[in-house]
Amino acid sequence: MARMKFLCDTERCIECNGCVTACNNENNVPWGINRRHVVTLGDGRRGEKSVSVACMHCTDAPCAAVCPVDCFYTTEDGIVLHDKDLCIGCGYCFYACPFGAPQYPQQEAFGVRGKMDKCTFCAGGPLPDNSKEEFLKYGRNRIAEGKLPLCAEMCATKALLAGDGTVVSEIYRKRVMKRGGRPDALGWQTAYPAEK
């Protein structure tokens, strides 16, 4: 079975936010919520890099581990989805997620959280595939239509890849080899400095 993965190629991402716009439009995302966002580190400085990030559909998802009402489930394709009929808007998944994927539309005063909303890998939710209710609650179910997430499909530089993890990593591996002369490996060990 395929395991769906996102991969963003930092050498290609040009911070155009096309993926964000595509996602918001395709999934009819509520105002104020971005299921996907682009982060730029060292903006304006030499060697700045951008990454488009959304829910990474973790294997051992922290959101699912802390949810008090157990509303998360992983599909056969390894996509982490949640049931908005169960969600109580407690905010725990937001505390646990390293990527800031879960967000809450503010429905009432005092910042009371509504039902959590996050990237669905364009796979909708637990409701019948491509039904009107599913679209209104979770957005488009492109996976059921045999299509991949629109953010990746729309990416102008093909920086954002989405799909079966093995295929995606194979494409990325070929890219790295083709680029040549750019050994990304130098300096990598300093991410985890040597023990003294």
29 binds another protein (CB under 8 A): no
Least distance CB 130 / another protein (angstroms):
23
Residue (of 121, 114, 3) closest to 55 by Cα position: 121
194 binds another protein (CB under 8 A): yes
Among positions 99-128, residues that touch another protein (CB under 8 A) are: 99-100, 103, 110-113
Residue (of 93, 96, 115, 119) closest to 104 by Cα position: 115
* Among 97-105, 134-142, 150-158, 166-174, the segment contacting another protein (CB under 8 A): 97-105
| C-beta separation of 66 from 89 below 8 A | no
Q: Which amino acid is at 189?
A: Q
Beta-carbon count within 10 A of 102 CB:
23
Question: Given the complex with another protein, which of 3 and 49 has the nearer CB atom?
Answer: 49
129 binds another protein (CB under 8 A): no
49 binds another protein (CB under 8 A): yes
Question: Given the complex with another protein, which of 61 and 143 has the nearer CB atom?
Answer: 61
H/E element holding 132? Answer: helix 132-138
β-pairing verdict for 80-82 and 72-74:
antiparallel
Q: What are phi and psi of 64, to 5 degrees?
A: -65, -30
Q: Which residues bind another protein (CB under 8 A)?
A: 10-11, 17, 20, 32-34, 37-43, 46-47, 49, 51, 53, 62, 65-71, 85-91, 94-100, 103, 110-113, 180-194
